[in-house]
Amino acid sequence: MIVNPRELMEDAQRNNYAVAGINATTLEGIQAVLSAAEELGAPVILSHAQVHEKYAPIDVFGPLLAAFAEKAKIPVVLHLDHGTQYSYILKAIRYGFNSIMYDCAHLPLEENIQRVKAFTESAHEIGISVEAEVGTMPSNIVGMGGCTEYGKKIDRIEDYFTDPDIAGRFCRETKIDMLTASFGTVHGFYIEKPVLDFERLRKIKEASGIPLVMHGTTGVEEEQIKRAVKGGVRKFNYFTGVATSASLPIENKIRNAEGPLYYHEIAQCAADVMKVQAKHMIALLQSV
Ligand code: 13P
């Protein structure tokens, strides 16, 4: 069933757990995420990123995601990840998304504040929750948020971090529901081992007073993820780990096939592998 994001986040705040926000770019991805959460009896945030429009066009995927989310036996929030374009966001809302990340982090701060504030006012009028970002998360996925080049080492990751004072002002003025904080993670695979800045996280939590979101969860050590949950992160965005997990098993399946291999068998293999991956992350966040 689709549930109110604000109520889910309030429950996570009260009970010190976090919810996995997993991007699904294929039918198998949707099945994997929802069946993982159902098997664990945990809530989940089913995400669609604007940058994946090419693979999962929202006019087809929006209604599909909504149908699966409604049918699910666990609480589901339908979330638009890194929405940058107003018309795209409106489409997502029309298809039933009840949580929107309006990503203006690449813009100058004052413009980020002004745009997110105006959007949040309208979104709240119609019961939509808003996530936004200050500081910019670097990216090692082509096209996903951030502003770095694929495979290029970042010299000073601290330059991308969220400033706690600015985070406080940003949340007070925009009245958003969730804040994406940058404190050591990167979208996609890491070139260097990530080391999260927990002191900064503590200050951001104190200054913002709202549930925090960590992007770039793939490749972060489990102990650091658990510490981040304790530190106030209530939503962990997870994608690369799930989306790449099926490649090797599929390769093996194709190589070892003794007869004709139907595509639905390959798709099923992908769904099974991605489910295991999603389950592992959901369980780690104490949301079961
Ligand atoms: P990863 O792909 O690094 O797990 O990050 C996903 C993400 O943050 C989506 O917004």
Counted residue by residue, the chain has a size of 288
Q: What are phi and psi of 78, to 5 degrees?
A: -100, 115
CA atoms of 67 and 240, how far apart (whole Å): 24
Average pLDDT over residues 210-238: 97
- Determine the pLDDT at residue 151: 59
Ligand 1 atom closest to the Cα of residue 188 is 3
Number of structural domains (the chain) is 1
Report strand pairing: 76-83 vs 212-214: unpaired
Which residue's CA is the closest to the ligand 1 atom numbered 8? 215
- Determine the pLDDT at residue 135: 84
CA-CA distances (angstroms) from residue 28 to 39, 100, 257, 278, 280?
16, 23, 21, 12, 17
Which residue's CA is the closest to the ligand 1 atom numbered 9? 237
Whether residue 12 is contained in a domain is answered as: yes
Does ligand 1 lie within 6 Å of residue 236's CB atom? no
CA atoms of 50 and 81, how far apart (whole Å): 7
- For residue 6, name the pLDDT band (cuts at 50, 70, 90): very high
From 19, 22, 23, the mutation candidate for ligand 1 (largest count of ligand atoms within 8 A of CB) is 23
CATH number of domain containing 102? 3.20.20.70
CA atoms of 130 and 104, how far apart (whole Å): 12
Specify whether the CB–CB gap between 75 and 42 falls below 8 A.
no
Whether residue 219 is contained in a domain is answered as: yes
Does ligand 1 lie within 6 Å of residue 23's CB atom? yes
Whether residue 167 is contained in a domain is answered as: yes
Instruction: Write out the two tokens for 191.
Output: 């070139």
Whether residue 159 is contained in a domain is answered as: yes
Which residue's CA is the closest to the ligand 1 atom numbered 5? 216
Q: Is the pLDDT at 152 greater than 80, yes or no? A: no
- Determine the pLDDT at residue 159: 82
- Determine the pLDDT at residue 141: 57
pLDDT tens across 42-81, in order?
Answer: 999 999 999 999 999 999 999 999 999 999 999 999 999 9
Q: What are phi and psi of 44, to 5 degrees?
A: -150, 155
What DSSP character marks residue 187?
B
pLDDT tens across 88-147, in order?
Answer: 999 999 999 999 999 999 999 999 999 999 999 999 999 999 999 998 777 765 545 444
- Determine the pLDDT at residue 145: 47
Answer yes or no: 81 catalytic.
yes
Whether residue 125 is contained in a domain is answered as: yes
Whether residue 76 is contained in a domain is answered as: yes
Average pLDDT over residues 31-49: 98
Q: Where in the chain does DSSP place strands (E)?
A: 19-23, 44-49, 76-83, 99-102, 129-134, 178-181, 212-214, 233-238
